[in-house]
A and B are shown apart, each in its own frame.
Chain A
Amino acid sequence: MIRFGQYLPGKSPLHALDPRTKTAAVLVLSAAVLSGGPTSCALVSALLLGVAVLGRIPARELISALKPGLFFLALLFALHLLFTEGTPIPPFSGGWVTPTFEGLHTGALVTWRFALLLGEGALLTMTTSPGRLVSGLEWFLRPLNALGLRSHELALMVSLALRFVPTLLEEVHKVKDAQIARGAVFGRGAPLRRIRAVSRLVLPVVLGAFRRADDLAMAMEARGYSGAPRSHLEELRITGKDMAAGVVVVGIAVVVMAG
């Protein structure tokens, strides 16, 4: 299952913030992190830790949310460490790749930056329900309506796609089991054979997905969906808390970018 940043339902002040505020904060902080040095990274780190506490996110959850990114972060660090030109770190000099002090420095900074980006994203998705996240997305896409795009349809498409990820995964397992029961072999043999085995999995799953889409379209129509704009269970509302959060985030971003 996909665990990265899975939503943790809760009632914390962070959960209560408008999804647009949180998304905008992530964008602003990301820009700040990417343009700043170690001091700004430290500042944003402190802010994120504070935010995690405010969102009452257990440390264990935060760490497990970041786990899938660890390999990527390690790779990023290693590449910078080994392939940056500069003064070799003494005991390792002379090999075909040499870790350098400059590499250590940029590697650490770049890795730190990306860890912060991952953290921001995880905090956003852990404290915002997918539905509210999509509502926020819909709002951000609204300017594109002038170009003929229909943001509410786009948002519904995204949320349907998210809704059906687990259902389709389940289907993949079922089809796979059915084929194994009839003697199919997965994950063994020559590469070509493996690819063929997987391709035999794709067709039934895709066909199944089309059938589902048909059913779903009918169910949506039966419940009065016509493609017209709809109202929402939860209307987005900017409150004083959102204002306060915005001021804090922009303040930090200004300090970081100026410094």
Chain B
Amino acid sequence: MIRIRNLSHAYEGAGIDALAGVDLDIPDGARVAVVGPNGSGKTTLLRHMNGLLPPRGGEVRVDGMSTADPSALPGIRQALGMVFQNPDNQLVGMTVEEDVAFGPENLRLPSREIRKRVDRALETVGLADFAERPPHTLSSGEKQLAAVAGVLAMGPRHIALDEPTAYLDPAGRRKVLRVIDKLHEQGISIIHVTHDMDEAAFAEQVVVMDRGRIRMQGPPSEVFQKTAELRDLGLDIPVVADLAGRLRRRGFEIGQGVLTLEEACDALCALLTETRSA
């Protein structure tokens, strides 16, 4: 459980507040997408979640541990793993397995336990055959999967990802998203910052940020109905939601909850069968 209360943050020298009184609860096992224009505070919010930034005002608690308490930081970083945007700049090992071992090594686990965790994490993300490869020989997608494995090896209950697919090609993106699905199924809470509304559509909750505040929050089927407000913030809505809305305005009966391709296909098939039989 991540509990954020009245969190504020100002970067030195910046005129405006990066975060201005954010309240957010993320229950265990939830899947939350955080969207918003550049500079809206998404990344700052994420960095507060595992204590990379100390709170200037308000409070962040991860499983009861406060990020303001330096002695709690090791526990917080074990409980909540972070995956960053640029896959190149977060890999520290000279081989993939040495990189995945970095976190458990910081926990000072015995080498047999580290080996077990490394192998399991690489298995989970599908990089078992890459264990001894140097990171620079991997594709961007594979590097990002290695970064996810490095976080997994810490045994986290929550994983926060900061635009993990921004640098990836479509194939790499698909692989990373599939692994995120899998981790969520295993009960790990996912906090996923993204610019891609189609990715956000897969979350259980969407949090829309703007100028350091949470502007909207709710299930994607609700949030993505507010087309005009989202456009005002400079945001898109998922292509499928857009299409469903346009069809609805032309008088076709399509449910509000249609957000993914799968759902759109079902809804359209139902419509077409109806017209054919009429």
| 16 other A-B residue contacts (CB within 8 Å) besides A9-B132, A170-B136, A233-B97 | A129-B94, A130-B95, A134-B94, A215-B89, A216-B92, A223-B77, A224-B77, A224-B106, A224-B107, A225-B102, A226-B106, A229-B108, A230-B108, A232-B114, A233-B111, A233-B115
Contact of A233 among B90, B105, B136 (CB under 8 A): B105
**Given A131-B95, A219-B92, A225-B106: A167 in contact with B136 (beta carbons within 8 A):** yes
Contact B103 A163 (CB under 8 A): no
Instruction: Kindly name the residue among B86, B89, B111 whose own CB sees the greatest number of chain A CB atoms within 10 A.
Output: B89
Name B's A-contacting residues (CB within 8 A).
Answer: 47, 50, 52, 74, 77-78, 81-82, 84, 86, 88-95, 97-98, 101-111, 114-115, 118, 132, 134-136, 150-151, 154
Interface residue ranges of A222-239 to B (CB < 8 Å): 222-226, 228-235
Q: B92: which A residues are within 8 A, CB to CB?
A: 159-160, 163, 216, 219-220
CA distance A219 to B50 in the complex (A): 11
Query: Which residues of B lie under 8 Å from residue A232 when comparing CB positions?
Result: 101, 105, 111, 114
For A226, list chain B residues within 8 Å (CB).
74, 106
Query: Please, which residues of chain A bring their CB within 8 A of the CB of B74?
Result: 224, 226
A86 partner residues in chain B, CB cutoff 8 A: none
The answer to whether A129 touches B89 (Cβ under 8 A) is no
| CB-CB nearest in chain B for A213 | B89
Task: Tell me the total A-B contact number using a CB cutoff of 8 A.
Answer: 102
Given contacts A224-B103, A225-B102, A233-B101, A219 and B90 within 8 Å (CB-CB): yes
Chain A residues with CB under 8 Å of B82's CB are 219, 222-223
Residues from chain B with Cβ under 8 Å of A221 in the complex: 52, 77
Nearest B-chain residue to A220, judged by Cβ: B92
Chain A neighbourhood of B97, CB < 8 A? 233
Residues of A within 8 A of B106 (CB): 223-226, 228, 230
- Complex Cα–Cα for A134 and B98 (A): 12
Which residue of chain B is the closest to A166 with respect to CB atoms? B136
Instruction: Classify the interface of chain B: helix, strand, loop or mixed.
Output: helix
**Min CB distance, A167 to chain B, in Å?**
6
A75 CB-CB contact with B under 8 Å = no
Question: Is the CB–CB distance between A223 and B150 below 8 Å?
Answer: yes
Chain B residues closer than 8 Å to A255, beta-carbon distance = none
Among B98, B103, B118, point to the contact of A223 (Cβ < 8 A).
B103
A212 CB–B CB distance under 8 Å? yes
Q: Is residue A218 contacting chain B, with contact meaning CB distance below 8 A?
A: yes
Q: Give chain B residues whose Cβ lies under 8 Å from the Cβ of A130.
A: 94-95
Question: DSSP class of A's interface residues: helix, strand, loop or mixed?
Answer: helix
In the bound complex, residues from chain B placing their C-beta under 8 Å from that of A215 are: 84, 86, 89-90
Cα of A130 to Cα of B99 in the assembled complex, Å: 13
Name B90's contact: one of A216, A228, A235 (CB within 8 Å): A216
A226 to B76, CA, bound (A): 13
Q: 7 nearest interchain CB pairs?
A: A219-B90, A215-B89, A224-B106, A233-B101, A166-B136, A222-B82, A223-B103
Is there an interface contact between A219 and B89, defined as CB atoms closer than 8 Å? yes
Task: Let me know if B111 and A231 touch, CB within 8 A.
Answer: yes
Beta-carbon contacts of A148-159 to B below 8 Å, as 1s and 0s?
000000000001
Partner of B154, one of A131, A216, A223: A223
Residues of B contacting A218 in the complex (Cβ-Cβ under 8 angstroms) = 47, 52, 84
Q: How far is the CB of B91 from chain A (nearest CB, A)?
A: 7
Q: Say whether, besides A163-B135, A166-B136, A224-B154, A219 and B84 are in contact (CB < 8 Å).
A: yes
